Structure 1
């Protein structure tokens, strides 16, 4: 028949099971919601990920579109019209020179035509003693000038001709077949180009560059307070206190910063209140336990007395485990330390308690950590490996821009489908609820909580020897 003490203990354990199950279900649901992210479509994958990049895209994309539209209108209307008219004027002048050369009777009149063409029309002309037109090379992409000048000469001349607009850097040459001779005409490019084209392009490109630089500098100053807020939030989540943080930036960013400061103060008050309450609970619980141990010592020896002493010892362990989980080492401040030295101390302590620990540290591992919290995390993992395996192997080194610690054992391991379940509070693979065989179900929970509070993660995998491998990754 169960005694009152047994009934009370069973009721406490069932309550812990129900609380752990609810917390585990909530944790699992939160993890499922985080993993259920819709796939990113290709337009979203092409967008910048940072706020600065997206803000610049919002500012510069309309500017670029405006410049493209303006350029298209300019070249389609203004440049096309100007080029067509200048080509028509030149074609008219070439046609007039051809007519005057045909009417010239002697060499003197022909020389007068040459001088008139240069002084009045800016055309250098001469007759070539050949009857074959040249074959100029053609560009890969014909320009607007080629098309407009060809059309204008075809309208004004009834003779074969060729043009070349790209071979000479400052001039354009034209050849006209006069029958027995070839008229060679050299035209300065200024007659066919308008300076407004270059001015427009330089103005457009220059103003775009200036606006882009101004937008970049302005947006960098606007994004800087957001990055600062993110850094302070990350440091606060890792337990590092940042006292010099002040709200700055735009109104919305200041509101978010003020909300963060208020939240930080509320969390601090809650931690202080919880620590004070837990200290009182710990004192109130340990006082009757101490009286019970004293009274049991006065009762002498006996089977029932030994059973009661065993129960009192178990209650002390359970209370220490529950209080350690609720306390969470939240008040300890991170300090620079050598993680290799801490591993050696934890391994030596485990060896003194009878564990067989093989430690391999590849190099010096400086880090900023909460020393006692990390000691508790490593001790939990090594003790857990020693409890279920005979040989424990600990390896530490730098991996993936951080520090990786592997704790391997040669025990039975954990099935893959239960490797995440064991991180839930009060979850135990051994269902007897006997602390001597399975602990309180909080060791791995506390270990992962400590690692994640430092910005890292703790995962489980199969060890090379067939047992369990606990992998700790800490950022640098």
Structure 2
């Protein structure tokens, strides 16, 4: 069976992964690069460098062993000095003998690299006597002391004969090349991601109904293709909205002409006892038809060509409340003095007016409230009416699905379209007043 990683480890690994495209792409490029260079370093360090270091250490230990053998065979001090001088000249070792001296214990200090370990191993194999090494006192030499039977042998070996400087050059090349490649990749990927982010911002702004200029295609061919497709989509949507608005405006005009003639004809009829009730009812029907035509036109027009700008939402809500009070509605307003955000004022006024009108048709008391919540503003319309069952709250947002008699079935539809066009959301909930709550969230 194939082994699987534990779920907590996978979740933690996903949590550590970068969220953005730039970070993930650079991680995908950096991890294989680091792994490859680590393998190359291990191959070099584990084979070539160790082999060279062992050979250099073995050569030094062999030269010292050869010198010690000669010195121990000679008993005359002059001959011993001649042998030590010969070793200095031939082996380039500063070597001398201290007769009768005793080797003092010394703490070994490890250095970076295998040189000290390899030299210690070579001396151990060559000599069966105590010895010490000092790699830190002299930056140019390595100080070696060996305890012989008749004294201490001091050897000062040149560090360059033991150190393999290529390791630092190799590590520097690995790190430098990795950083250079990473910087180049980050620079190019940043340009590609910048184009994608610009496309995302433009799409978000256009989805919220803002006037977005065409995007200049740049970056990789796929990103250019996406930007070009977005520009074409934007043009098609604008043409479609303009054509739909013009068509509905023409239909509305054509329908209002005969309705106007009917209104004039009804106004010219004599107000006799027999006709007064009929004329009143027919006049109300004509007004209802005009109101329905206006609602259909508003639904088709959507938000029109109005551009978003920074406005005080509190002033809009006060205007809506004033209109509802003029219509005889008992309405309470709980709104702070300042709620500034970027939106289309007329469209938002229409959406909230539709919600308030829907509430006042079914309730005696309505409460309009608003408050800032983090990076959004929440607007609520509460009433004490009968409310709407939970299983029917989604259906009332559909066009022509009026929840009451006398409505066009477009009020909530228009309100939701406007809120969604601003990047917000609208939901229907149970109200603390016992009726229905319409809650709107608008991003700041």
Structure-1-length-normalised TM-score: 0.77
Deviation track 1:104-135 (CA, whole Å, cap 9, x = no partner) reads 53666666666666664445666583366445
Q: Give secondary structure in 2 for the equivalent of 1:69.
A: helix
The aligned counterpart of 1:278 is 248
Cα separation, 2, equivalents of 1:470 and 1:185:
93
| Mapped partners of 1:177, 1:446: distance in 2 | 100
Q: Does 1:259 align with 2:229?
A: yes
Where 1:460 maps in the other structure, the secondary structure is strand
**Alignment match of 1:368 (pick from 336, 339, 342):** 342
Deviation by residue 1:300-342 (Cα, 9 ceiling, x = unmatched)? 4344444444433333333322222222123222233222222
Deviation at 1:451, TM superposition (A): 1.5
Shift of 1:356: 3.1
Q: CA deviation at 1:372?
A: 0.9
What is the distance in 2 between the residues matched to 1:434 and 1:163?
A: 103
Query: Which residue of 80, 85, 88 maps to 2:58?
Result: 88
Instruction: Provide the residue aligned with 1:218 in structure 2.
Output: 188
Q: Which stretch of structure 1 is more off in the superposition, 115-124 or 333-342?
A: 115-124
Give the match for residue 24 of structure 1.
none
Q: Determine if contact 2:103/2:146 at 8 Å carries over to the other structure.
A: no
Q: Aligned partners of 2:386, 2:64: CA distance in 1, in Å?
A: 100
Cα shift at 1:374: 0.9
The aligned residue for residue 440 of structure 1 is 408
Aligned partner of 1:313 in structure 2 is 287
- Secondary structure of the structure 2 residue equivalent to 1:441: coil
Q: Is the 8 A contact 1:299 1:305 kept in 2?
A: no
Secondary structure of 1:395's counterpart equals strand
Aligned length: 428
How do 1:330-341 residues align onto structure 2 when only pairs under 5 Å count? 330-341=304-315
- Aligned match for 1:77, one of 20, 44, 47: 47
Using the alignment, how far apart are the partners of 2:241 and 2:349 within structure 1?
Answer: 21
Of stretches 302-311 and 353-362 in structure 1, the one that deviates more from structure 2 is 302-311
Q: How has the CA–CA distance of structure 1 residues 290 and 114 changed in structure 2, closer, same or farther, with 3 Å as cutoff?
A: farther
- Indicate if the aligned counterparts of 2:430 and 2:437 stay in contact, CA closer than 8 A: yes
- Structure 1, 166-175 or 368-377: larger mean CA deviation: 166-175
Pairs within 5 Å for 1:14-413? 47-103=17-73, 105=75, 120-123=91-94, 127=98, 129-130=101-102, 133-136=105-108, 144-161=114-131, 172=142, 174-179=144-149, 183=153, 185=155, 187=157, 189-243=159-213, 245-297=215-267, 298=269, 300=271, 301-362=275-336, 364-413=338-387
Whether contact under 8 Å (1:132, 1:182) holds in the other structure is: no
Aligned to 1:27: none
Measure the CA separation in 2 of the matches of 1:102 and 1:360.
Answer: 107
Moved more, 195-204 or 417-426: 417-426
> Does the aligned pair in 2 maintain the 1:133–1:177 contact within 8 Å?
no
In structure 1, what is the Cα distance between the partners aligned to 2:222 and 2:322? Answer: 53
Q: Which residue of 2 aligns with 1:473?
A: 441
Between the aligned partners of 1:463 and 1:171, the Cα distance in structure 2 is: 88
C-alpha displacement of 1:99: 3.0
- Is the CA contact (8 Å cut-off) linking 1:222 and 1:250 kept in structure 2? yes
Q: Deviations over 1:247-283 (max 9, x none)?
A: 2333332222222222222222212211111011111
**SS of match in other structure, 1:357:** strand
- 1:147 CA drift (Å): 4.2
Give the deviation of 1:217 after TM superposition.
1.4
Q: Check conservation: 2:245, 2:300, Cα contact below 8 A.
A: no
Q: Please point out which of 384, 391, 396 is paired with 1:422.
A: 396
Cα distance change, pair 100–260 in 1 and its aligned pair in 2 (3 A): same
RMSD: 3.4
Moved more, 128-137 or 292-301: 128-137
Structure 1: tracts of 5 or more residues without a match: 1-40
Q: Which moved more, 1:86-95 or 1:178-187?
A: 178-187
More displaced 10-residue stretch of structure 1: 101-110 or 360-369 = 101-110
Instruction: Report the equivalent of 1:460.
Output: 428
Matched position secondary structure for 2:380? strand
TM (norm. structure 2) is 0.82
Are the aligned partners of 2:95 and 2:153 in contact in 1 as well (CA < 8 Å)? no
Higher relative contact order (CA 8 A, sep 6+): 1
